[in-house]
Every structure is written in structure tokens, then in C-alpha cells.
Amino acid sequence: MENKAITKIGVLTSGGDAPGMNAAIRAVVRAGFYYNLEMYGIYRGYEGMIQNEIKKLESKNIAHILERGGTFLKSARSAEFRTEEGRQKAYDNLKKHGIDALVVIGGDGSLTGAHLFFKEFGIPAIGIPGTIDNDLAGTDHTIGFDTACNTAIEAIDKIRDTATSHDRLFFVEVMGRDAGFIAINAGIGSAAAATLIPEKKMPIERLVERLKARTKAMKTSNIVIVAEGGKSGGAAEIAEKIKKQLPYYDIKVTILGHLQRGGAPSSYDRVLASKLGVSAVEGLLHGKHDVMAGIINNKIVFTPISKAILGDKEVDEDDFRIAKILST
Ligand SMILES: Nc1ncnc2c1ncn2[C@@H]1O[C@H](COP(=O)(O)OP(=O)(O)OP(=O)(O)O)[C@@H](O)[C@H]1O
Ligand SMILES: O=P(O)(O)OC[C@H]1O[C@](O)(CO)[C@@H](O)[C@@H]1O
Ligand SMILES: [Mg+2]
């Protein structure tokens, strides 16, 4: 680990973009200026670090970005950063600019990269959880998750209108490659008939029984939420299976897709991003490194990145039970 005082911090966003990333960048840069540091924007995540797309930031660069979706620094998935040669190039570019610490805003993959980079080159790095997937331990919520849930629920409300008018069964696919957090929240928040998540297998037979019971109970519209990484397949695949068993249903499939990643961040995400941005800079100045800033029970906490990325954060059993009770 480099022991000299930090004077220049680089900030980047990586992986899938998430609403609130701009608010996090703004907070990091504002905090840096407050503590008289030079702040550098690294564009297009690790790819831009490798390609030397690095610019010194001024106050005007971060004006009016708090409320905007996406990330003005842009984001990327960098295959080259997964190689030793790529990471060496990235480190050489940081040194050219005299950058002596990093704030990485991204998901589990991005923080895995930051952890490796710290281990190899000793450059102090702090992670900020920025992903709609909510799949990082060490924080109750990741930046972007709340907005993505709001967007999904708003879209499902609209689907509900047409589903009810036509007595249809809809399978709605939400994002979450390996995580069912958006799905379970959207399921509870939109009165879904069932929610299928990657963490729990729901046999098709059980879903058939659930739908039959709802028909008996005179429910006229049915919305089944499917997380894209679901164990029984995506929404289209499950719809096909159900069609075979319940041919009397008029079935439609909607894949919400990338609209869940866009839009202005919710108030929750703005505040979360702002708190974590300032905390990350203060953490670096207090000598913290290789940790992720998060909020648990309304308190800022720093968790070793190696723990945050373990992939052991699970959908709460209570949430799953509540979703089930409310869908019968
Ligand atoms: N094992 C690794 N070693 C080095 N770099 C990695 C590693 N895993 C991920 N990265 C870097 O982080 C980038 C982003 O990772 P990934 O695509 O998994 O997204 P993420 O940060 O998890 O965000 P999200 O899941 O929200 O899209 C990768 O493209 C790669 O450059
Ligand atoms: O935009 P891309 O690269 O297709 O990635 C989609 C993936 O990114 C995420 O939206 C997370 O950012 C996942 O939920 C989804 O599986
Ligand atoms: Mg991820």
C-alpha cells in the first residue's frame, strides 16, 4: 500500500449503468474539492483507464448532474481489464496523471476488478455499490435499485390495465441476471400472481396450481413476474410451458429490459448516492482502502470488498413469504 498522503483521486463508473451514478460522481467530486484534492474523471470505466481517457474535473463538469439518469462519465464492460496486461496499462496511465487513489462506482464485477487492482498495484481504492441488481453485501441497497423497482412497478401498473381489460395472463420479465431483488420487490409492489426468482426454484406444476386457484377465486387478471435469470427459464420460456398446460388462458409476454436502467434517480437513490460519495472520499482520507462504502440500518459502513462481492446476499426469506401470502 502506498502510504503518502492522497492528493489526486480518480473516479469511474463501470458495469451496467444505474440511476444515481451521476449523483454519486457529483458527491465524490464535491467532497474531493471540499478537502482540497484534485479530482479526475476516468471515462468509460476500466476501458477508459486502459485507453487513457482521463480528464481533470472542474466544478462545472458536475453541475446539474445529480438529477440525471445514466452516467456522464459513461460506463463499459472491459474484457481487457480482466488481463494482467490490461491492468498494467491502466496503472501506467494513472501514474502519468499522478492519480494516487480511486473511487470505483459499479456492481460486483467492477468491485472485483478494483479488489484485484489494489492487490496488484497497491493503489488505495474504495468501492461504491452502483447497480440496479442490489447484489452486493455490505449495504442494504445499491444505488439504482430503488429507481429500477419504481420503474418496473410503474410499467407493470400499465400492463395491469390492459391485462384486466382483456382478462389476460401476462408474464413480465424484469432484470437481475443472477439476483431476484427487483423481481421480489416488483412482485410485492404490483400484486403479482407469482414471482419467479433465480434464488428459488418454483416447479411449473406449482405455478399451474397457483393460477388455477386464482381462476377459481375469480381473479380476472394475472401478472407473473419473472427475473431474467430465473431457474425455470425466462418469461417467454415459462409462458410456453404454461400455455401447454392451461390452453384456455390468453397469454402475453413483456420483457421490460433496459428501460429499468434509465430515468432520473428516485429521492432514495439520490440521497444514498450522495452519502456514499462523500463517505468514500472521507474513507480514503482516513486511510481506508479495498473496502466498499455502504449503508446498513441508516449507518455508513465500510466492508472489505472481498466480502461485499461474495454473492451471498440473498432475497430475504420474509420478503419471499410475504410475496407468496399476498399472491394467493
Ligand atoms: N474478475 C475480474 N477481474 C478483473 N476485472 C473484472 C473482473 N470482473 C469484472 N471485472 C471488470 O469489471 C467490469 C464490470 O463487471 P460486470 O460486467 O460484471 O458488471 P458489474 O460491475 O457487476 O455491474 P452490473 O452487474 O450492474 O452490470 C468488467 O467488464 C471488467 O472490466
Ligand atoms: O446492458 P447489458 O450489458 O446487456 O447487461 C444487462 C445486465 O445488466 C444488469 O442490468 C445490471 O446492470 C443486469 O440486471 C442485466 O442482466
Ligand atoms: Mg454485477
What domains, with CATH codes, occur in the chain?
A: 8-144+265-310 (3.40.50.450), 146-261 (3.40.50.460)
The span from the CA of 78 to the CA of 15, in Å, is 8
Q: How confident is the model at residue 145 (pLDDT cuts 50, 70, 90)?
A: very high
pTM of this prediction exceeds 0.95: yes
The span from the CA of 7 to the CA of 38, in Å, is 6
Bridge-based pairing state of the strands 291-296 and 299-304:
antiparallel
Find the range with the poorest average confidence among 110-114, 166-170, 184-188, 202-206.
202-206
The span from the CA of 298 to the CA of 272, in Å, is 10
Per-residue pLDDT for 271 more than 50? Answer: yes
Q: How confident is the model at residue 4 (pLDDT cuts 50, 70, 90)?
A: low
Question: Ligand 2: does its nearest atom lie under 6 Å from the Cβ of 321?
Answer: no
Q: How many CB atoms lie within 10 A of CB 254?
A: 18
Question: Ligand 2: does its nearest atom lie under 6 Å from the Cβ of 129?
Answer: no
Between the CA of 31 and the centroid of ligand 2 the distance, in Å, is 29
Q: Which three cell numbers stand for residue 313?
A: 446476499
Question: Ligand 2: does its nearest atom lie under 6 Å from the Cβ of 261?
Answer: yes
Report, as an integer, the average pLDDT of 292-297. 98
pLDDT in tens, 220-259: 889 999 999 877 789 999 999 999 999 999 999 999 999 9
Find the range with the poorest average confidence among 71-80, 226-235, 247-256, 302-311.
226-235
Phi and psi at 218, nearest 5°, equal 65, 30
Specify the pLDDT at position 2: 44
Sign of CA dihedral 152, 252, 191, 197: negative
Per-residue pLDDT for 103 more than 90? Answer: yes
Summary mean pLDDT of the chain: 96
The span from the CA of 39 to the CA of 29, in Å, is 6
Q: Is 316 a catalytic residue?
A: no
Between the CA of 215 and the centroid of ligand 3 the distance, in Å, is 38
Q: Dihedral (C-alpha) 207, 210, 215, 217: value to the nearest 10 degrees?
A: -170
- Catalytic one among 17, 133, 135, 269? 133
The span from the CA of 21 to the CA of 17, in Å, is 7
ipTM of the complex: 0.99
